[in-house]
Structure 1
Amino acid sequence: MTAVPEAMLFDLFGVIALTQSAESEQALASIAGAPVDDFLDAYWRPRAPYDRGELTAADYWRQVAADLGAVFDDDRVGALVTADVASWAGVDEAMVAYVERAAASAVRLGLLSNIPEDLAADFERRHRWLRCFEVVAFSCRTGLAKPDPEAYLHCCREFGLAPERVLFIDDRTENVRAAERLGMAARLFTGGSEDPFEGGLPLQ
């Protein structure tokens, strides 16, 4: 790539926010009354349409229940929604600090996340650092989820930049490769080291 990136587009979970822990998965499975492995299969099967805003929380959890051969009443659904949001609530404070430094340096920032509405609303209530992002593309509101090329192009249009002018950072190889196919610069976030970005990502 010869163009110099003018904006940085971040994934959320697995980069700035933490992914679910085994303990959180166990807690959700316990509320659902199912073995963890069975629960996780049912949990992820309809997750993409939930992330894209095609299912409400109630519809999503009743589909999970149907996959488990169960029925969840309103109280069970409410408990699962609360526990699910809590299971994704953690953030990497070092990465939050990185984002805040980048914003203070006038770097243009964007956020592209596959996320359902309940979780998106919770993050907006709790995290003022989301204001650092000029572009915020939550799949539940755009209807576009990675690795769909349109999810990335939507963000480029919001920036008013060609794809080759945007640097994308994600922890999933398939999402990084999808960005690269569009001509975007991309880095695989590896975390847990002094250089958490494959190939380096110096703060401008």
Structure 2
Amino acid sequence: MPQAIVFDLFGVIALHQSAEDKQRLERLAGAPPRTFWESYWALRKPYDAGQTSVDYWATMGRRLGVNYDAATVKALIDADLASWTGVDPTMVDLLGDLSAAGRKLGLLSNIIEDLVPVFEAKHGSWLSRFHARTYSCQIGVAKPDHDAYRIAAARLGVEPRDCIFIDDNENNVRAARETGMQAEVFTSPAQVRRLLAA
């Protein structure tokens, strides 16, 4: 049995953006959906690693050929942050059960700096169940960089080989395995329960 269970956040515990959230961002950005989302994700890695929200959206504007004023940038930031705050209550219940059973829990998330206080203010009750929360924006590296996994393990006081890591992204799972972690691609809360029971 692994000493620690390390979870990804978005796509595992937290939900991805809804269609309504995406449409709101597209309208605010004033860009065609395909062009907007290609740019949104292409520029995301530095943002996850600590780039400021203002700089990210300024870079987005230059790439899209749009000069966003300060009010539009604020609206884009607010809409983007709000779009990443939903969670799966079934996974929250699972975390509660694992915590009650005395399991050591870690969180390893690619997350932008401005979202951390927003998310923690909304979900602090169950986030407190984690023994360590490792955020990309605070450590300066994002998954699948191997250092992210090593730092997450170190913050839990264990070696990577003592962790099992759960993420919905195959590239992130592969990188975790390369650092020595056990790792599985997330499909459902029921899958996690079966995995940990085994």
Pairwise same-fold verdict (TM > 0.5): yes
Q: After superposition, what is the alpha-carbon deviation per residue over 1:132-160, rounded to whole angstroms, capped at 9, x for unaligned?
A: 11110010111121000000000111122
DSSP-derived class of the 1:200 partner: helix
Structure 1 residues not aligned, in runs of 5+: none
Distance in structure 1 (CA, Å) of the matches to 2:197 and 2:93: 12
Q: Which residue of 2 aligns with 1:190?
A: 187
Map 1:122-137 onto structure 2 (within 5 A): 122-127=118-123, 128-137=125-134
- Aligned match for 1:151, one of 118, 123, 148: 148
Partner of 1:80: 76
Secondary structure of 1:109's match? strand
CA RMSD of aligned residues (A): 1.5
Superposed counterparts of 1:65-104, under 5 Å: 65-104=61-100
Distance 1:15 1:185 in 2: 17
Partner of 2:103: 107
**Preserved CA contact (<8 Å) 1:168 1:179:** yes
SS of residue in 1 equivalent to 2:13: coil
How much does 1:203 deviate? 5.1
Which residue is equivalent to 2:52? Answer: 56
Q: TM-score, normalised by structure 2?
A: 0.95
Q: 1:32 is matched with which residue: 19, 29, 38?
A: 29
Indicate the residue corresponding to 1:169 in structure 2.
166
2:196 maps to which of 177, 192, 202: 202
Q: After superposition, what is the alpha-carbon deviation per residue over 1:105-139, rounded to whole angstroms, capped at 9, x for unaligned?
A: 11000000000011111111111211111110010
* TM-score normalised according to structure 1 size: 0.92
Q: What is the SS of the residue equivalent to 1:111? A: strand
Q: Give percent identity, aligned residues only.
A: 47
Distance 1:203 1:62 in 2: 47
Structure 2 counterpart of 1:175, one-letter code = N
The list of structure 1 runs, each at least 4 consecutive aligned residues, that deviate by more than 6 angstroms after superposition, is: none
Gap runs ≥5 in structure 2: none
What whole-Å deviation, never above 9, does each CA across 1:18-72 have from its counterpart, x for those lacking one? 011222111101001111111111211211101100x211110011011110011
Query: Quick check: 1:138 aligned with 2:135?
Result: yes
Q: How far apart are residue 92 of structure 1 and its match?
A: 0.2
Larger deviation, residues 71-80 vs 18-27:
18-27
Number of residue pairs matched? 197
Structure that is richer in helix per residue: 2
Corresponding residue number in structure 2 for 1:117 = 113
Q: Which secondary structure does the structure 1 equivalent of 2:133 belong to?
A: strand
